[in-house]
Structure 1
């Protein structure tokens, strides 16, 4: 049974809430098998759906609120969970191991994800889609096939572990590949909003969307990576990370 059918029968109204998720560690749980659940802009069926999550999918709960009561396979609850996908789902359709809320209450002014608690261990669809687009762009795949795919590395911490960072092999010591690497990097920088790009590191330079006008800055490979190796300098691969909207295909390029 899909959540729309269940939610249509709900009778408890939700007051208008001016909520923003509070700083929180994220709890990783699963959607209950056999269900496709609407991801909404607020904790009730009156809020628009912005997508769905499906049975068995791993999701991260940043915080929780009380909202419309919904009946799921294990009973009714008015707990709604704010997920890493930047929307709310009814806790009735998440397997959390408890009947109560597992996340801290929402209510602060900013959302802060704890990367150590958010190692979802799965590739995000926008990040995989970004790789396929780079691979298919004429001139950006001189080695052919998947030989430029260094990895998304979901077994690592941080953005890679969250499945939203891609490494794309390019050799800065090769004049042709160095030029291609810069072509990729500058294209993604120029279209960062559309792709949901957060950070680009290439050829010992870094660009971050949080300070876009600073342009390309020197990359601190020792402070960030621990050595001055070619890999730490990002002279053998382009590193691209996405914000969550880009990683889940919610930015303009993907819609």
Structure 2
């Protein structure tokens, strides 16, 4: 890819000789980048996770505990939701080991949403962080409703995870079906044109496509599929409302 870009740039500045020189330099750069494990990815922020699976699980479980305690009431439904997720994702033996480690090492310490959020923001992909927020809302809703304290805590965590406001509001709208929630899910205003609605749907469908989380476990991919389905439902609702 780089060799052709360099050739075009070379041609613009020095015609044929420049194109040849650019192609040669670009080829050398292509070879170097492949040998060093994808330097371009790190330049553009698409690096793979550098957090160990065990570390990720403990940090995620810590965030779960923050959300569960947010409204001052520890719900059995929320606890069961978390346990079911970990068992489905990692198997019963590994899930139990994670819970034991959490109980022994983390549970009795002060859990810092700020520290964990910033750590995961630096170590995980943006799509993974979107799924974390979706998962936390799922926990909060496990007892039948997402309380305001829970929503506020999840919003705070989303800030530490460096999610932009519109992405957060889009995911939140999937759990709070207030007026015009379908437009919020698509991250547009109600007065958007039909063409803007279609464009927003294509953009959101691409953002939340399950393939974005192909590197994650099965439970996370199911969460991505759920978000993808919510985007489709929002679009269909707007289509029906407008007669599109």
More helix per residue = 2
More strand per residue = 1
Higher Rg of the two aligned structures: 2
